[in-house]
Amino acid sequence: MHQETPLVNGEERQLKKTILEYMKGHNTVSLATEKDGLVHAATVFYVNIEFYLYFLSSPSSRHGENFSYNPRVSATINEDYSNWLTIKGIQLEGLVENIGGILKNGRIARAYVKKFPDVADFLLSPQRLGQAIVQKVAKVKFYKLMPSRIYFINNELGFGHRDELTFS
């Protein structure tokens, strides 16, 4: 049961603000991918710039291979709630694109390190961690998830309440 009503301008601005605050306050996104009729889920750490989500992964991972076959994904950003009346979270659908390595995406790498300072050496100075890490970092790529639709779930406003934000 989902209650959806069209948003007017002020409501849409507030929804955008709510979604961006929620994205900023969370760290992981669970991605659902598909290849040859087989579905797969993977959770990755992300940083958002506006509504775009950026994350690191290997093109040879199962989800990385799925992206190159079918870039369409569904995803969720949420917490592990124990009371269903307080559930809030994001469901989204969109496209994922491999945008290249860390050196090619310095601005995104810096935003990622700002959010996750523990990965600074891994991303920006892998040689400090040894040759094995340098080789792993060379294979890791940034991916960009471009939402076409985001739902913000808020059971505090009623069971199954969700508001939709669409992008053209």
Query: Is residue 1 domain-resident?
Result: no
Query: Is residue 134 domain-resident?
Result: no
Query: Is residue 56 domain-resident?
Result: yes
Total-model pTM? 0.89
Q: What is the residue range of 42's domain?
A: 9-108+140-166
> Which bin fits 50, alpha (ψ -120 to 50), beta or left (φ > 0)?
left
Low-confidence residues in the chain, pLDDT < 50? 1-3
Which amino acid, residue 58? Answer: S
Q: What is the pLDDT of residue 1?
A: 47
Query: Is residue 58 domain-resident?
Result: yes
Model confidence over 105-123: pLDDT tens digits?
989 999 999 999 988 877 7
Query: Is residue 28 domain-resident?
Result: yes
Query: Is residue 120 domain-resident?
Result: no
Query: Is residue 89 domain-resident?
Result: yes
Query: Is residue 125 domain-resident?
Result: no
State how many domains the chain has. 1
Q: What is the pLDDT of residue 168?
A: 79
Task: Residue 35: give its domain's CATH number.
Answer: 2.30.110.10
CA neighbours closer than 13 Å in the CB half-sphere of residue 112: 26
Q: What's the CA gap between 21 and 19, in Å, rounded?
A: 5
- From 151, 163, 124, 154, select the one nearest 140 (Cα to Cα): 124
